[in-house]
């Protein structure tokens, strides 16, 4: 399992786990509802809500720790790739391109496919493109800075997700629709990007991290040796 898949799986498990907690305590409240108005009702209701709050807080902390561990490993891997020197073959290609008097966009894009997994090489290729006044080159891979920005966005989204007390709250959905109404709640809009039932890993990376080049991002943050969160 790779880190992007782990992130997606943990996102879905958070939603599932949070819903299970709320379902449990909603059921307990339903059981005592017939005693509403009696002397002990308020005390029992408050006890249930207190236990719900404690259970959710513990769950949120546990899952956020798991998210941050995955994200930290993503960040370390992305940064380490920046320091990887080009191979002898990649270096020979770059030297040959630098010696050329003229070079076209198609040749640069073809070279970028060869250098896809070499951030240093792509940076040099970008310099060659600028030197030759070649604009609009699609390098087929995102820069390290762009990758790190996506990781930062995933971290922020994970924190937003782990701050939710409920997923798919009907009240919150209604508040989103009433964005121009008097009862509009900014917090409802704030959680919109993360309170989603994502249909795939790609969907989660796009909405939570703003990732556009999915293959490039996966190449930058995934390795064969991965961290496992067996109890997520």
Please name the residue that has the structure tokens 């704030």. 190
Region 55-65: mean pLDDT is 97
CA 227 to chain centre: 16
Q: 0.75 cut: is pTM over it?
A: no
- pLDDT for residue 106 is more than 80: yes
- Taking only the tens place, the pLDDT of each residue in 197-229 is 888 999 999 989 999 888 889 988 998 654 444
Q: Which of 89, 225, 88, 221 is nearest to 155 (CA)?
A: 221
Region 28-53: mean pLDDT is 93
Q: Which of 231, 212, 232, 223 is nearest to 1 (CA)?
A: 223
Region 146-168: mean pLDDT is 89
Which residues, in sequence order, are CB contacts of 164 under 8 Å at separation 6+?
A: 18, 191, 194, 195
Strands (E) in the chain, as ranges, are none
* Number of domains within the chain: 1
Q: What's the half-sphere exposure (Cβ side, CA atoms, 13 Å) at 172?
A: 17
The angle formed by the CA atoms of residues 159, 162 and 165, to the nearest 5 degrees, is 135
**Domain, as residue range, for 151:** 1-231
């Amino acid at each position: 399992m790779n880190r992007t898949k782990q992130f997606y799986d943990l996102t879905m498990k958070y939603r599932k786990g949070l819903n299970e907690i709320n379902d449990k305590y909603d059921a307990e409240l339903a059981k005592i509802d017939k005693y509403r108005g009696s002397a002990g009702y308020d005390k029992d209701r408050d006890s249930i809500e207190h236990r719900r709050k404690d259970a959710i807080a513990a769950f949120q902390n546990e899952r956020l720790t798991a998210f941050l561990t995955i994200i930290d490993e993503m960040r370390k891997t992305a940064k380490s790739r920046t320091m990887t020197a080009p191979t002898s073959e990649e270096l020979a290609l770059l030297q040959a391109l630098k010696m050329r008097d003229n070079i076209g966009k198609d040749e640069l894009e073809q070279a970028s496919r060869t250098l896809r997994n070499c951030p240093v090489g792509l940076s040099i290729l970008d310099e060659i493109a600028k030197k030759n006044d070649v604009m609009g080159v699609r390098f087929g891979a995102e820069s390290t800075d762009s990758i790190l920005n996506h990781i930062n966005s995933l971290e922020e989204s994970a924190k937003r997700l782990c701050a939710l007390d409920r997923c798919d709250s009907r009240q919150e959905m209604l508040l989103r629709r009433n964005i121009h109404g008097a009862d509009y709640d900014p917090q409802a809009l704030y959680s919109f990007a993360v309170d989603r039932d994502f249909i795939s890993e790609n969907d989660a990376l796009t909405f939570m991290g703003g990732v556009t080049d999915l293959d490039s991002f996966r190449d930058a943050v995934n390795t064969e040796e991965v961290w496992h969160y067996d109890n997520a």
